[in-house]
Amino acid sequence: MYKSKILGLGKYVPDNIVTNNDLTKYMDTNDQWIRERTGIEQRRWAVPGDGNTTATMGVKAAKIALERARLSPKDIDFIVFATLSPDYYFPGSGVLVQEMLGCDTIGALDIRNQCSGFVYALATADQFIKTGMYKNILVIGSELQSTGLDLSTRGRGVAVLFGDGAGALVLSRSNDDSDILSNHLHSEGKLAKELSVLAPGALNPPNKLVEDWDPEDLSYYPYMNGNFVFKHAVTRFPEAIMEGLNAVNLTPQDIDLLVPHQANLRISQFVQRKLNMRDEQIMNNIQKYGNTTAASIPIAMTEAWEAGRIKRGDLVVTAAFGSGFTWGSNIIRF
Cβ proximity to ligand ACO: between 293 and 330 the closer is 293
- Least distance in angstroms from the C-beta of 222 to ligand ACO: 7
- Least distance in angstroms from the C-beta of 68 to ligand ACO: 28
> Annotated catalytic residue: which of 52, 136, 261, 285?
261
Q: What residue ranges in the chain does DSSP mark as E strands?
A: 4-12, 17-19, 42-44, 78-82, 107-111, 136-143, 165-173, 179-187, 195-196, 223-224, 257-260, 315-322, 326-333
d(CA 265, CA 37): 8
Q: Which of residues 229-258 bind ligand ACO (CB under 6 A)?
A: 229-230, 233
Neighbours of 186 (CB within 10 A): 16
Residue 276 is a catalytic residue: no
Residue 115 is a catalytic residue: yes
Q: How far is CA 135 from the centre of its chain?
A: 23
Q: Which of residues 83-142 bind ligand ACO (CB under 6 A)?
A: 114-115
Stretch that binds ligand ACO, among 31-39, 126-134, 272-280, 307-315 (CB under 6 A): 31-39
Residues in the chain: 334
Mention every residue, 6+ apart, whose C-beta is less than 8 A from residue 234: 267, 270, 271, 274
Residue 103 is a catalytic residue: no
- Least distance in angstroms from the C-beta of 56 to ligand ACO: 21
Stretch that binds ligand ACO, among 8-16, 88-96, 208-216, 228-236 (CB under 6 A): 228-236
DSSP 321: E
> Annotated catalytic residue: which of 20, 103, 115, 330?
115
Total residues contacting ligand ACO by CB under 6 A comes to 23
Alpha-carbon dihedral angle through residues 144, 147, 152, 158, given to the nearest 10 degrees: -30
d(CA 62, CA 114): 19
Mention every residue, 6+ apart, whose C-beta is less than 8 A from residue 318: 118, 119, 122, 258, 259, 260, 261, 297, 301, 329, 330, 332
Residue in 10, 14, 38, 297 binding ligand ACO, rule: CB under 6 A: 38
Q: Which of residues 137-166 bind ligand ACO (CB under 6 A)?
A: 156-157, 160
d(CA 324, CA 188): 6
Q: Which of residues 44-63 bind ligand ACO (CB under 6 A)?
A: none
CB 168 within 8 A of CB 117: no
Binding mask 184-213 for ligand ACO (x = CB under 6 A): -----------x------------------
Pairing state between β 315-322 and 326-333? antiparallel
Cβ proximity to ligand ACO: between 37 and 186 the closer is 37
Q: Which of residues 268-327 bind ligand ACO (CB under 6 A)?
A: 291, 293, 322-323
Stretch that binds ligand ACO, among 27-35, 54-62, 252-260, 280-288 (CB under 6 A): 27-35
Exposed/middle/buried for residue 191 (C-beta within 10 Å: 0-12, 13-18, 19+)? middle
Cβ proximity to ligand ACO: between 7 and 149 the closer is 149
Active site residues: 115, 261, 291
Q: Return residues touching ligand ACO (CB under 6 A).
A: 29, 33-34, 37-38, 114-115, 156-157, 160, 195, 226-227, 229-230, 233, 263-264, 267, 291, 293, 322-323
